[in-house]
Every structure is written in C-alpha cells, then in structure tokens.
A and B are shown apart, each in its own frame.
Chain A
Amino acid sequence: MRARTTRTRLGRKLRIGAIASILLLAVACGDGEDAQDDTTADADAGDADADADAGDADADAGDGDATAAGDDLFADLDEISIVVPGSVGGGSDTQSRLLAPLLSQYLPGNPTVTVENAPDVPTITVVNDWHSNAPTDGSSVLISSTSSVFPALFGQEEANYTLDSWIPLAGVTQGAVAYTTADTGITDPTELYQSDEEWIYAGQTALGGDTPMLLAFEIFEMSNAQAILGYDGRGPSRIALESGESNINYDTSASYLEHVEPRVAEGEFVPLFSFGQYSGGELVRDPLFPDLPHIGEVYEAAAGQAPSGPAWVGMEAMLPARLGLNKIFWVPEGTSDEIVEAFRQAFVEINEDEGFVAEKEDVIGPYALALGDDVVAGVENVLRVSEDDIQWLKGWLKDKYDVDV
C-alpha cells in the first residue's frame, strides 16, 4: 500500500511535469506558420536587447540612422528572415548573424531581422524552396554561396532555380592565394609552368571551392599534378600540406592572412600567386596582396603571352562565383524597387558603421561589402558564363575527375 501511494504521488508530479514540458515545447516550437527555426523565438526577444547591449557595436548609433522616408515599408512584416542554406556556425551563418542586428538597425522602421538555418537539409532543397515560395514583401532574404550558385550555373537538374531572376542586395567578396612549402625548393611561381614535378594537392571535391585551383594545374600545364580529393575542408588540407601529404595548397584571404602569411616571413611557406579580383572586367591584383602577382601575370611571365584556352576561360568563368562574390544577399523576383533600394541603402550604411568596420574583419573578412551597382555588376560577371564554357567544364570534370554534373 505504501509503495503505491508513493508511486501515485510521484506519478501525479510527473503528469504535471509532463504537461508543463509539453506546453513549454509547444510554445517554443510552435511559433508562427512555418516554425522552421527554434532560434526565431529567442532571437526576437534577443534582437531588441542586442541593440541596447552595453559594449555592443550598436551603442553609438541611434534610431535616427534609419531612412526617414518609407518608415512603414516593413511595418507589416513580423520579421525579416535571412535564409541560410547551411548549418549553424558555418561561414554564411556567422556572417548573417553579424549582419542581422545591423540590418534591423539601418532598415527603415527597424524591423526585426532573424537568421533561419536549415541544418541537415541539402542546400539545393533549401534554395529551391526559397526560389518557389519566398514572399516578395522583403521578409525573406537569401544568402547564397558557391554551393547554391554552382548548381544553377552548371544547370544541374536538381536545381530548379536560376540566378538571373533574383535581385541582389549586397555581396561579400573573397580572395584566395596559392602557396607551397619551402621544402619543395620552389622560389619563383613561374617555375610552375610546364613543371613535371610531382605536385600533390589535397582538396575536397572537384566541383566546388577547389575548382579554380584544379584549373590552375591545367592552365600551367603541370603534367604531374595530382589532386587527392576527399579531405574534409580547408583545415585538413592545410594539415596535409604541413605534414607532407600534399605540397601545394590555397587558402582564402582571411585564412591565408591568419595562418599562412606569418609563417611566410619565417621561411616555412612560399606564396605563389593570388587568384586576383575583377575590376572593370579585367583581372587585377588582389588589393589585399598588392605585392603578389595574380595567376594571369604569372602565366604571362612564364609563357611569354597572355593566358588563353578553355581552361583559362573556364577559370575566369568560375572566379566571380567562387571568389568575387562569394556570398550574395538576394530578394526574390517581384520584390518592389523601394524595398530593394531600402535594403541596398541599409547595407551602404552598415558598411560605414564604425562598429561594423571594427568587427567585420573577423567575420566578413577583409574586403568591403559589394554594394549597389557593384553587386549588380558582380552578379552580371557571375552570370556571363557561356554555355560553351559550361560544356567544356563539364567535360573536363568528367574526364579528369569522373564527376557527373
């Protein structure tokens, strides 16, 4: 009898606890129509705090920053979501989380801006969904990266979208530098040209961030260059280089500056070339690395003529998508001009915000945001890939790396 009483009491407590927990869950998870992100509920409360947070970059700015005209542009929206087709903590995610409170601050009417992830859902699925269903009232902004852009450029059948219908708001530029270890004995990048040394590169996959590097091997006619694919990212690739498993590598600018450049001075690493940036339709030196020749220059110095040929054209086609505008913020087709303008203006102001300028280097990277006309021009660069270029690239990927696109 006694045991039973204890159990009943406990059972009752448990029932209450269970009901309470379920209610709590329902509240936490059942926010709005498409409760896609648990962080939404908390982030809403949080965003209001973020502006007021002591020590936060926003402390200086006041509401006066918002454009006076059109304050009600976003008034009907509960919130604006930045849709990130990637996992929490990844590059797109961290950048979006940095920008969300700033957008909220600089958009007219200070709407709430949150970040919506879809971890564990394939990128293409997320983008397909956004392409078909995103509302045109400015409440849904997509951040794209190479994994969203390449499938569209290559016309992969799983991608139901093309980029030419979307409207770009701002972009994040990226750069890259190729380098090797001092052990290889190479002192001048022109030595790469027609080199028959055994070059080994540790990369992730043939179609993706590594593609420009793989194309570089073709451009330089390095007959004995081998790409070992399957490494789990840039980090393991760098470890492979340091442990001798590979002997040539590249890093994006921020990583290069952080991990490689200090050791160049110590003689451990040898920079070879940068992949450059596009300015006015021409490939020029990367402004972050003014002393480093870009890949076209190295080729020209080695071969005595400007680079040409399908590999070169293919690489030029890939560069804007891979580097020039590595991440792009978009709104869907049909969004009104005023909303687009409001976003673009907000980004301009963010770019000048002191706090942003101070913090961004760590997260966005060392380049300025691509804004307004620049981002439109940049997108045109991305899209000017011709059908022939794509066909050549597909054929090359199939022949050399057995990748079906």
Chain B
Amino acid sequence: MFEAAVDALGVLLQFETLLWLLAGVVIGVTVGFLPGLGGSVGLAILLPFIFGMDPVNGLVLLMGITAISNTADTFPSVMMGVPGSASSQATIMDGYPMAKRGEATTALSAAFIASMVGGIIGGVALLGTIFIARPLVLALGTPELFMFTLIGLSMVGILSKGAATAGLAAGFFGLLIGTIGPAPRVPITRYDFGIDYLILGIPLPVLAIGLFAIPEVLDLLARRQAISEVAEQRGSRMAGLKAVWRNKMLVLRMSIIGNVLGIIPGIGGNVIDWITYGIARQTCKNNENFGKGDVRGVIAPEAANNSKEGGVLLPTLLFGIPGSGSMALLLGGFLILGIQVGPDMVGRNLDTTLLIIWALVLANIVATSISLGMTGPIGKLATIPAARLMPFLIVVMTLASYQSRRSWGDVATLLAFGALGWAMKQIGMPRAPLLIGFVLATPAERFLGISMARYGYEWLLRPGVVVLGLLIVVLIAWGTRKGSSRLAASADASFYEAER
C-alpha cells in the first residue's frame, strides 16, 4: 500500500500532469472569483473538453478546480462576515471580529495555512479512511444519519450560549424556513403561497448573504467606518503562521474529525464546519473569546473544511453517490474519463484513488498558496472607508444573489432576509442558529421520516443511535460546566461583538 501511494505520487509529479493541475486551479480561481459563478460552473464548462483526454490529466484537472472552490470563499467570510459558500460559514464567527480589530491579515493567513495543513492531513488520513469508509457507511443506517443531523442541530444550542431562548427561536425559525419548497419524501411543495419562485425553496446563498452581509453593510455605512475599526492593521501573515503552529494539535484534531465526518453521506459539507467550530469551542481551554475574535475559532473550521473534501470524495468514489453539486459534476467527469467508481476503487483501482487523493492534496496546497499570496492586498480592503467599499460590495452581492435563479425573486429574497438579519442583529438574536436550522431542515426531516417508516419507534434503541445521542449530551454538557457562567455574564447575545 505504501509503495502504491509512492507510485501514485510519482505519476502525479510529472511536468505535464502538474501543468494540468495548475490549469485546473487557475480556472477554478478565475471562475470562482467572478461572483455567483463558483466552482461548479467551472467544472460544468470544462466537461465537454474532457472527452478523449488522457484520464490522468483529466483527473488532475478536475481535482484542481474542485480544490480551489473551497478555499477562496474564506475571503468574504473573514472580510465581511458573509458565509461564502457551504464551506466557510463558521469562519465568520471569529474571522470577522478579527478583521474588525485590524487583524484581517492574521485571520486570513491563519485560515489558509490551517486549510493547507488540514487538507494535507486529510489527504494522508484518506489513505487510512478509504478502507474503513465502506464498512462505516454501510454500518450507518438512516437513524444514525438522523442523529448526525441532530448533532448539527445541537450546535444551535451550543452556539447560543448566553442567549439560549433567542438562539433556539432562531434555530426553529430556520427549520421552518427550511421547509419551504419541495418536501423530502412526498412530491409536494410547501409554503410556496402560489409564488413560482418559492416552489424550489429559498436558495441558501441568497439567504446567507442577506442574513449576514446586508446588516453588516448597513451598520458599517451608518457608522461611517471601515471594516477594520482600528486604523492600524495589526495583522500579519507571520502572526497567522505562528497561531497555527501554536495550535497544531487543534488543527490535527479538527482535520481528522472533518475528514471522518465528510465520509458520512447526507449531512452534507454545510454543517461540518459548524460542528467542528462547536466542538473546538467546547473543548478548548479559555474559550471565552470564541465569537469575539479568537484565532482558534478560525483555525478549527478551516482545517476541517479542507480535510472534509477528502472525506466527501469517498462516497462519490466508493458508491457513486455525490455529496454535493461539485461532486455530482466530478462524478460526471469521471464517467467521461472512463473511471469506474465503486468498491473497486479500493480494490483493483486503488492506484486511481491514490492519484486522486494526491491530486487533491497538491491542488489544495497550490490553491491555498495562491490565496495566501492574495491576503496582503485583500487584507488591506479592511481599511477602506465603508462609503467607498460598500457600494461596490452591494452591487457584487446583489449580482451574486441574482445568479442563483436569475429572477427578481432572488433580489426580493435578498432584501427580505437582509431586513430580517438587520432586525435580528439589533435585538441581539444570534443568526447562526437560523442558518443551521435552515440547512438541516430537509435532511433531518428526510432521515427522521425514513427512520420512523422503516423501524417504527425501535430505531431509538439502536446502539449507534444511543451512542450518538450520548455524544450530543456530552458535547452540550461539557460546555455548560466549563465557565459558562462567565460566558453568560459577558455575552451580549449576539455572536458578532455587536458593540453598538
């Protein structure tokens, strides 16, 4: 197995192959940079060209594009507190407060370095997890998948410390909004009020931008400030590097957790960074600064979200089940290249799998390096007075939302959630729980419904369910014991400083 891994690396490290990898990353960056396009579109555009390509080159090209899409969205998370795409959501919790303190560059570089390391660890971990992946997935029935969504939902509670009722209310509201649109188990649509736009539900990117970005923009404009409340930029890339080094065990832990969680089909990459953020917060010492700009709150989810890419790849490779839109495209790409997915990927075709893993790791390194290079200039954006930056950002965000369904409904939704988000911010109601509830509504309902239909109430007694249930209790209780009273006292109920 070790020789096979080295062999695969050798295949990868050839000049032409590396060029294709680089091409993939560059295409991914270019496409990802244009608002609203994002990684999947890059993949889609490339699909026809892959026909007839040498499988190895085609493969690394695909992996190059896939790797970058996860990395670049850290920028909006840190700079604006806008959850970019699925992957960089939890980063907003501490990344943005850091940017406000003038430490944007530190936050960004810590994020990218953690991502890089996380990606490498994840890739290496894959070498082990590919073998347990199949038995793991098969051992997990739908009830266990439901318990995983519950873990995600319990993050709502953990993240609402000090504002428990408000947080729970937000979480439940998120669950409610998540039910708008197609029902997971029957062919009906709910709460569409006869409006075409709502038939498919609320698009996540629009909700996220509206809920998190608009209030920030409004506040910044009202206060006539720059993102950074401090004129001096205190951050530096070295500081970021040092922060990651200091917390290397955290990085390691979160990478492994992210990688393993990624394997589980159904919970989706969306929630993994929230879960790892919650775990980091609960288990780190002196965690009273989480939510106020603790660099560990950036490192933890970022390390996890790159390593999870490796994990998410596994159901795609082993079962042909794509865990996300980009995975679906990747699968299409594999088909075109003639790569057969299935159990053989750890059997006869192990060398292909290893190549994919190495390509992912390498692409990840290249992507994060490019991003690191950009942190300098982009970090400085934090010093620009709001009056100059915000109009540009508003246009960009609106266009990005419009790309969702190319309908005025996108803009209307953006404004509606913008208003809601602003109101929530003013009264100190945490918004993260709403996002989590929204994202988990459909899978939670699907899994619970299937569990009940299949097992009646007996699923509650399954060993896996019991273990996961205890895990939830432990996670929540742990935090409650450790200095939560201090948290409650200092908490002002909103998770972004909200010092008004």
Count contacts on B: residues with CB < 8 A to the other chain: 71
A163 interface residue, CB < 8 Å from B? Answer: no
Does A183 belong to the interface (CB within 8 Å)?
no
Chain B nearest CB, measured from A329 CB (Å): 17
0/1 string, A85-101, CB within 8 A of B gives 1: 00111100110011011
A252 to B157, CA, bound (A): 43
Q: Is A162 interfacial (CB 8 A cutoff)?
A: no
* Chain B residue, CB-CB nearest to A99: B48
**Given A7-B385, A121-B200, A239-B137; A49-B49 close (CB under 8 Å):** yes
Known: A28-B34, A98-B48, A242-B138. Is A228-B392 also a contact (CB below 8 A)?
A: no
> Contacts A11-B384, A362-B336: A57 and B35 contacting too (C-beta < 8 A)?
no
Say yes or no: B321 contacts A403, CB within 8 Å: no
CA distance A21 to B385 in the complex (A): 20
Shortest Cβ gap from B127 to chain A (Å): 23
A57-B187 contact, Cβ under 8 Å, with A42-B45, A240-B142: no
Chain B residues in 8 Å Cβ range of A14: 381, 384, 388-389, 392
| Partner-binding segment picked from A200-208, A217-225, A318-326 | A200-208
Evaluate contact between B140 and A243: CB separation under 8 angstroms.
yes
Q: Does B41 contact A (CB under 8 A)?
A: yes
Residues 10-43 of A, flagged 1 when their CB comes within 8 A of B and 0 if not, give 1100110010011011001100000110110011
Given contacts A39-B41, A90-B328, contact A235 B321 (CB under 8 A): yes
Tell whether, in the assembled complex, residue A235 and residue B186 are in contact, meaning their CB atoms are under 8 Å apart.
Answer: no
Query: What are the residues of chain B within 8 A of A55 when measuring CB–CB?
Result: 52-54
A380 beta carbon closer than 8 Å to chain B: no
CA–CA, A94 to B200, complex, Å?
A: 22
Binary contact track A180-205/B, C-beta < 8 Å → 1, others 0: 00000000000000000000101001
Please give me the residue from chain A that is nearest to B328 by CB atom: A89
How many whole Å from A210's CB to the nearest CB in chain B? 11
**The one of B44, B188, B383, B396 that contacts A10, using a Cβ cutoff of 8 Å:** B383
Query: Is there contact, CB below 8 Å, between B265 and A229?
Result: no
A7-B384, A14-B392, A94-B336 given; A239·B48 CB < 8 A:
no
On chain A, the residues within 8 Å of B35 by CB distance are 25
Please state if A88 and B41 are interface contacts (CB–CB under 8 Å). Answer: yes
B200 A120 Cβ-Cβ under 8 A: yes
Stretch from B159-167, B273-281, B448-456 at the A interface:
B448-456
Within 8 A of A (CB), among B319-359: 319-322, 325, 328-329, 331-332, 335-336, 338, 340-344
On whether the beta carbons of B138 and A239 are closer than 8 Å, the reply is yes
A355 touches B52 (CB 8 A): yes
A56 interfacial by beta-carbon distance below 8 Å: yes
B223 at the A/B interface (Cβ < 8 Å)?
Answer: no
Query: CB of A71 within 8 A of chain B?
Result: no
Inter-subunit contact B325/A245 (CB<8 Å) = no
Interface presence of A259 (CB below 8 A): yes
CB of B446 within 8 A of CB of A363, answer no
Minimum distance in angstroms from A340 CB to a CB of chain B: 25
How many of A's residues come within 8 Å of B, CB to CB? Answer: 77
Minimum CB distance partner of B321 in chain A: A235
B335:A46 contact, CB within 8 angstroms: no
Nearest to B326 among chain A residues (CB) is A89
CB-CB nearest in chain A for B410: A120
User: Is B224's CB within 8 Å of the partner chain A?
Assistant: no
Within the complex, which residue of A3, A49, A117, A359 is in contact with B336, where a contact is CB–CB below 8 Å?
Answer: A359
A258 at the interface (CB under 8 A from B): yes
Among B44, B388, B406, the residue within 8 A (CB) of A88 is B44
Instruction: List A contacts of B342 (CB < 8 A).
Output: 258-259
Is there a chain B Cβ closer than 8 Å to A335's Cβ? no
> Could you say which residues of chain B place their CB within 8 Å of the CB of A93?
44, 332
- Shortest CB–CB separation between residue A191 and chain B, in angstroms? 23
Contact check, B138 vs A57: say whether CB atoms are below 8 A apart: no
Residue B43 at the chain A interface, CB threshold 8 Å: yes
Q: Which residues of B contact A125 (CB under 8 A)?
A: 196, 199
Chain A residue with minimal CB distance to B395?
Answer: A22
Known: A49-B49, A101-B48. A208 touches B405 (CB 8 A): no
Excluding A101-B51, A230-B446, 7 further A-B contacts by CB distance (< 8 Å) are A14-B384, A120-B404, A200-B454, A235-B322, A243-B139, A259-B342, A359-B336
Q: List 29 A-B contacts (CB under 8 A).
A: A11-B384, A14-B381, A14-B384, A14-B392, A29-B399, A47-B48, A50-B51, A53-B49, A56-B52, A87-B328, A89-B47, A98-B51, A101-B48, A101-B51, A120-B405, A121-B405, A125-B196, A228-B454, A229-B453, A230-B184, A230-B185, A235-B322, A239-B137, A243-B141, A245-B141, A359-B51, A362-B336, A363-B336, A402-B186
Residues of A within 8 A of B (CB): 3, 6-7, 10-11, 14-15, 18, 21-22, 24-25, 28-29, 35-36, 38-39, 42-43, 46-47, 49-50, 53, 55-57, 59, 87-90, 93-94, 97-98, 100-101, 117, 120-122, 125, 200, 202, 205-208, 228-233, 235-236, 238-240, 242-245, 255, 258-259, 262-263, 355, 359, 362-363, 402-404
